[in-house]
Amino acid sequence: MEEAVLNVPLEKEEYIINMGPQHPSTHGVLRLVVSLRGEMVLNVEPHIGYVHRGIEKMCESLTYSQIIHLTDRMDYLSAHINNEAVCLAVEKALGIEVSDRVKYIRTILSELTRIQSHQLFWATYGMDLGGLTCFFYGLRDRELVMDIFEETCGGRMIVSYNCPGGLMNDIHPNFQKRTKDFIKYFRKTLPEYDRLLTGNVIFQERVKGLGTINRDDAIAWGLTGPVGRASGFSCDIRKHNPYSAYNKVTFKEILYDEGDSFHRYKVRMDEMWESMNIIEQLIDNIPEGPYAEKMKPVIKLPEGEYWQSVETARGELGVFIVSDGNKNPVRVKFRSPNFVNLAPLNILAKGFKIADLVAINGSLDLVIPDIDR
Amino acid sequence: MEFSIYDLTSFTQWIDSSLRASISPGWAVAIEMIIIGLAILIFFALVGLFLVYAERKVCALMQNRLGPNRVGPAGMFQTVADLVKLLFVELVPIKNADKKLFNLAPFIVIIASIMAIGALPFAKGLHAIDLNIGVFYLMAVSSMGVIGVLLAGWSSNNKYSLIGAMRSGAQIVSYELSVGLALVTMVVLAGTMQLSEIIEAQRWGWFIFTGHIPAVIAFVIYIVAGTAETNRGPFDLAEAESELTAGYHTEYSGIKFALFFLAEYINMFIVAAIAATVFLGGWMPLHVYGWDGFNKVMDLIPPFFWFLGKSFGVVFIMMWLKWTFPRLRIDQLLTLEWKFLLPINIFNLLLMALLVLIGWHW
Amino acid sequence: MKSFIRYIKSIFDGLITLLKGLGVTGKYFFKPGTTWTQQYPNNRRELKMFDMFKGEVIMPHDEQNEHKCTGCGICEINCPNGSIEIISASITSEDGKKQRIIDKHIYHLGMCTFCGLCVKTCPSQALAFGQEFEHAVFDRTRLTKILNQPGSKLKKGVA
């Protein structure tokens, strides 16, 4: 720890604390070297790379169907959306149009993924601030979404359900009924979350006004997802560049102006309502059709560079593929939303206390394996 | 000899007279002190064990899960198993810590708690020391616990422990004011500081009912300030696990950690017991003036169980508060005390004094 | 005066939100039958996974101990990290032609990422996902499994 900060001269009464890679509130293996004066934070320096597995390098020796299972493990709470990103890039490059059935199912599963990711955010945010029952309530409701995933796709968190051309297998006959039951249950339970945490005066005093970033700074830092939308930056890919079935549904893009931690939290809670509206518009109208297009056994993309961006639960995930005509890509680059969202942590937390640092870090909702890839 | 479970003075008198008859008075007093000390220690241990188990069960039921349910029937022996495990844990010595203070700190907290238990009225006749300044003594003695906390944080030679201990010290010292003023409000209503007199005055109605609005406000303030005093509930940033690992007792392991842990639960019980005595009538059953049949039924339950029931009810309310609310930050905590609780307390005291003067209670 | 009224109002508003929060947890405490805990090790007999659950890769054998694996090696080519090793042998069939059959289909459960490509790309649908999820062992060599059972042979009619 000393080696990183020895060349910075310490002010009077300043001391350095290491919120090390193993810490209950950094949501993964993130190391924050915090220099404090008393209780006030002067400087925060994140050290990343503890979960680096070389995913982008591994992709250079795999074929396009084999890349999918690696993207599951980047931002594991938006696993389905990550898979969809690579499949959409490959399909766009090959010029294949998938059937409407595939588009509808992909959209419904993406929105379910978004709901369960925000449920986990609520659970861990409450736990970080000290309300430990929030953790259990959030995870209890998330189990129902996990059951839907397990019945159709086979896995709870690591799904690997998409493949270039469509889906691995058709949905289970129970899928629609289970999803509709979940939506009915969750519409009744979500107001409980508001009564327990959002409206609570202790929570509001703890979180309002923390880590404010205004709209111009958010655009300059490139913050997307709920973090950007809480500052007023309209960046929802589902509205600006619709993909899959998003141009067939109507939903609101949640925008607030204040840009503090409380509104980042509010954006995610409101997004859960919007996701439920989207699912309700689609779930009864899934058209019949094939669940996958016929693809060649070995996929070769024509020479060139291809880009596809999708809206994960945390922001804009971009997939950039450079191909030279072979079955392995030359370079795959993932523009990860968490890497960009972590960057302004120093500016957001300057001048606040340690307890506020935990609250700000939680409101950014980072998933560290996505930063390190 | 006629022993009755409703009035244990005859039992204690019998012990006293038989001891004095056989041994010299000095020795009799010494043996009585030893008996009382042993009884308090056993009570301390049993209540501590029970409260740890109860907390785990209560919080589990609130969180849609079962608590401990494997060790013993319905998990009753879970705390015993934890205690045995803690006895086997290696006591890690700290290199540059002040060893004398490091080892002394847990005992100071325990001693403060035991001194407070000694003055609580458990039942008619089971009152170890009936001082005429009972309330004042209880407040003074529970304030001694903060020395243990500060010593623990300082002597651990650890930045995190020091931060936790300083926060905790500021918090306890501030909230003692609120606790004191709330209790003084009830002393104004009762007219005396002696605990047995206070209980006697509640024979025909507990103070929380006869004192109307000021008593209810004082009760709420006392509960809030009491949980802050014991570093529990929404005021537990001294041991905030998600921020600073374990705060002032980070460096303690094994049996010393068990002593801190136990002392926290006993302090919670003491706060609840004082609330039960001063607001809810101590060991007095619930009597309504004029309903004789109802009063006779209420009298059937022995006073010891009334006292325990009321104390555990207040303990349940404190646990409920802890498991629902997020934590307050240190400056919000102090704001709550100095800007909200203290003015309300002073206003409440004036209101209660007005009520007593007019005579709007019976 | 106005700030004084705001002060009193803030106290009452705060108290009401706190009581609402207490109501939520209190409801779950006092209402019976709201625990979601499954008594896991005791309910193993009734526990049934979903049909498509990806437990581990198995090669289904029917009652005559026959499977559908021809030893073509397509699953080995498609596996991203080499969890499958095919060892094939060559025998002469009745009409004198040299034919390749499967000798050992080695599956490294410790390395498998459960992507499903082997199951999907097998031309004779010889592999499937099993429902077993308790894979913890004390000895790492037990994680290397041979999927074709001893004494089994290829089903007739599979190319």
Q: Where are the domains of chain B?
A: 91-358
Classify B125 in phi/psi space as left (phi over 0), alpha (psi -120 to 50) or beta: left
Cα distance between residue A137 and residue B65, in whole Å: 10
d(CA C69, CA A366): 45
C21 and B325 in contact by Cβ < 8 A? yes
Give the pair of three-digit tokens for residue B297. 């039924």
Closest CA–CA distance from residue A351 to any residue of chain B (Å): 14
Walk along chain B (362 residues) and give the pLDDT tens digit of each residue: 556 667 777 777 777 777 777 777 777 888 888 888 898 889 888 888 899 899 999 888 888 888 888 888 888 888 888 888 888 887 777 777 777 888 888 888 888 888 888 888 887 777 777 888 888 888 888 888 888 888 888 887 777 677 778 878 888 888 888 899 999 988 888 888 888 888 888 887 788 888 778 888 899 999 999 998 888 888 887 766 445 555 677 777 778 888 888 888 898 999 999 999 888 888 888 777 777 777 777 777 788 888 888 999 999 999 999 888 888 887 888 888 898 889 999 999 998 888 888 876 55
Q: Does B18 reach chain C within 8 Å, measured CB to CB?
A: no
Q: What pLDDT, on the 0 to 100 scale, is given for residue B294?
A: 77
C25 touches chain B (CB under 8 A): yes
Contact flag A127-B323 (C-beta cutoff 8 Å) = no
What is the rounded average pLDDT for all residues in chain A?
87
Give the β-pairing of A162-163 and A315-323.
Answer: unpaired
Query: Is residue A35 packed enough to be buried (19+ CB in 10 Å), middle (13-18) or exposed (0-12)?
Result: middle
B126 sits in which H/E element: none
Beta strands in chain A (DSSP E): 14-19, 31-37, 40-47, 162-163, 166-167, 304-312, 315-323, 331-335
Token pair 């309700």 in the structure block, residue: A280
Distances (CA, A) of A183 to A48, A194, A205, A275: 38, 17, 31, 10
3-class secondary-structure state, position B81: helix
Which of B23-34 are b and which e, b meaning 16 or more Cβ less than 10 Å from the residue's Cβ? Answer: eeeeebeeebee
Of C21, C51, C114, the CB nearest to A200: C21
pLDDT, mean of residues A219-230:
90
Q: Residue written as tokens 């960046």?
A: A235
Whole-number pLDDT of residue B104: 86
Structure tokens that stand for B192 in this block:
């005396």
Reading the block at residue B245, the tokens are: 């690992």
Cβ of residue C38 closer than 8 Å to a chain A Cβ: no
What confidence score (pLDDT) does residue B39 get?
A: 87
Residue A174 corresponds to which amino acid? N
Instruction: Write the pLDDT tens digit of every residue in C26-47.
Output: 888 888 777 888 888 888 888 8
C70: left (phi over 0), alpha (psi -120 to 50) or beta: alpha
Query: Cβ distance A348 to A218 under 8 Å?
Result: no
Contacts of B234 (CB under 8 A, 6+ apart): A130, A202, B227, B321, B322, B325, B326, B327, B328
Q: What is the dihedral of CA A26, A29, A30, A34, to 10 degrees?
A: 70
Of B168, B188, B173, B185, the C-alpha closest to B220 is B185
ipTM of the complex: 0.85
Q: Give the sheet arrangement for strand C84-92, strand by strand.
A: C84-92, C98-108, C144-146
The tokens for A103 are: 């588009």
* H/E run at residue A138: helix A133-153
Residue C119's H or E segment, with its range, is helix C117-121
Averaged pLDDT score across all residues of chain C: 84
Q: Give the torsion sign (CA, A243, A223, A82, A58).
A: positive
Instruction: Tell me if B65 and A25 make a contact (CB, 8 A cut-off).
Output: no
C39: its two tokens: 């008594």
Count residue pairs from A and B with Cβ separation < 8 A.
Answer: 73
Q: Which residue, among A206, A257, A234, has the nearest Cα to A363 in the 3D structure?
A: A206
User: Distances from the Cα of A94 to the Cαs of A70, B131, B294, C131, in angstroms?
Assistant: 21, 91, 86, 36
Please give the Cα distance from A87 to B1 (Å, whole number). Answer: 90
Q: Is C8 on the interface with B (CB under 8 A)?
A: no
A344 has a pLDDT exceeding 50: yes
CA nearest neighbour of A268 among A207, A323, A339:
A207
Buried/exposed A258-278: b ≥16 CB within 10 Å, e otherwise: bbbbbbbbbbbbbbbebbbeb
Q: What is the pLDDT of residues C82-130, one digit of tens each?
A: 888 888 887 776 777 777 788 888 899 888 888 888 888 888 888 888 8
Share of chain C above pLDDT 90, in %: 1
Higher pLDDT, B18 or A268: A268
DSSP string, A68-113: HHHHTTTSGGGHHHHHHHHHHHHHHHHT----HHHHHHHHHHHHHH
Residue C95 · residue C86 · CB < 8 Å: no
A187 has a pLDDT exceeding 50: yes
Average pLDDT of C57-78?
A: 84
Mutate to test the interface with B, among C8, C15, C29 (most CBs of B within 10 A): C29
Q: What is the mean pLDDT of residues C143-152?
A: 82
Chains that touch A (3 or more CB pairs under 8 A): B, C
Closest residue on chain A to C27 (Cα): A192
User: Is C43 at the interface with chain B, CB within 8 A?
Assistant: no
User: Token pair for residue B9?
Assistant: 């003075």
Confidence of residue A1 (pLDDT cuts 50, 70, 90): very low
Whether chain C has a CB inside 8 Å of the CB on A195: the answer is yes
Contact A11, A37 (CB under 8 A): yes
Residues C35, B321: C-beta atoms closer than 8 Å: no
pLDDT digits (tens, 9 = 90+) for A53-68: 999 998 899 988 888 8
Amino acid at B181: L
Take residue C8 and report the two structure tokens written for it.
Answer: 């009193």
In the numeric block, which tokens belong to residue A346? Answer: 């120093």
Give one DSSP letter per residue of A218-232, joined into a string. Answer: HHHHT--HHHHHHTT
Q: Residue A119 has what pLDDT?
A: 92
pLDDT, residue A9, reads 59
Query: Which chain B residues have a beta carbon less than 8 Å from that of A205?
Result: 328, 332
For the cut 90, the answer to whether the pLDDT of residue A320 exceeds it is yes
Q: How many CA atoms lie within 13 A of A250 on its CB side?
A: 0
CB contact under 8 A, C114 and A199: no
Interface of A with C in 276-315 (CB under 8 A): 297
CA distance A44 to A35: 7
Cross-chain Cβ contact A200/B65 below 8 Å: no
Tell me the C-alpha distance between B315 and A106, whole Å. 51
Stated length of chain B: 362
Distances (CA, A) of C115 to A300, C109, C147: 20, 12, 18
Q: Which two tokens stand for residue C90?
A: 């060559």
Q: Which residues of C touch A66 (CB under 8 A)?
A: 78, 80, 115, 117
Q: What pLDDT sits at residue B214?
A: 86
Confidence category of residue A12, pLDDT binned at 50, 70, 90: low
Do A136 and B63 make contact, defined as CB atoms within 8 angstroms? yes
- Across the interface, do C20 and A195 touch by the CB < 8 Å criterion? yes
Query: Does C114 sit within 8 Å of A158, measured CB to CB?
Result: yes
Contacts of B340 in chain C (CB under 8 A): 11
The partner residue sitting opposite C52, judged by closest CB among A147, A154, A197, is A154
Tally the domains of chain A.
1
- Best of B168, B327, B328, B340 to substitute, by most chain A Cβ atoms within 10 angstroms, is B327
Q: Which of B235, B319, B324 to mutate to test the interface with C (most CBs of C within 10 A)?
A: B324
* pLDDT band with cut points at 50, 70 and 90 for residue A220: very high
The CA distance from A197 to the nearest CA of chain C, in Å, is: 7
* Block residue for tokens 């944080």: B153
B255-278 and B303-324 helices, crossing angle to 10°: 110
Burial of B109 (0-12, 13-18, 19+ CB in 10 A): buried
- Confirm whether A66 is domain-assigned: yes
Residue B184 CB partners (closer than 8 Å, separation 6+): B349
Can you give the residue range of the structural domain that contains A199? 55-337+357-372
List of chains touching B (3+ CB pairs within 8 A): A, C
Distance CA B330, CA B198 (A): 36
Give the percent of chain A with pLDDT over 70. Answer: 96
Q: Does C9 touch chain A (CB under 8 A)?
A: no
Cα–Cα distance for residue pair C119/A157, rounded to 1 Å: 19
A24 or B165, higher pLDDT: B165
How far apart CA B322 and CA B48 sit, in angstroms, is 18
Contacts of A143 in chain C (CB under 8 A): 36
Q: Which helix (H) or strand (E) holds C88?
A: strand C84-92
In a domain, A116, yes or no: yes
Instruction: Give the CATH number for residue A256.
Output: 1.10.645.10
> Hey, of A53, A60, A66, which one would you mutate to test binding to chain C, going by the most C CBs within 10 A of its CB?
A66
Separation between Cα atoms, residue B75 and residue B58, nearest integer Å: 13
Which residue is closest to B62 within chain A, CA to CA? A133
* A15 within some domain: no
Residue B346, pLDDT score:
92
As given in the structure block, the two tokens for residue C7 are: 């002060």
Q: Are B63 and A136 in contact (CB under 8 A)?
A: yes
Task: Determine how many CB atoms are found less than 10 A away from the CB of residue C114.
Answer: 19
Axis crossing angle, helix B159-190 with helix B342-358, rounded to the nearest 10 = 10
What DSSP letter does each residue of A243-257 carry, written as one string?
A: -TTGGGS--PPP--S
> Which stretch of DSSP H or E encloses residue C107?
strand C98-108
The 3-state DSSP class for residue B144 equals coil
Q: Is the dihedral of CA C45, C46, C51, C54 positive or negative?
A: negative
Phi (first) and psi of residue A253, to 5 degrees: -95, 125
Residue A143 has pLDDT above 70, yes or no: yes
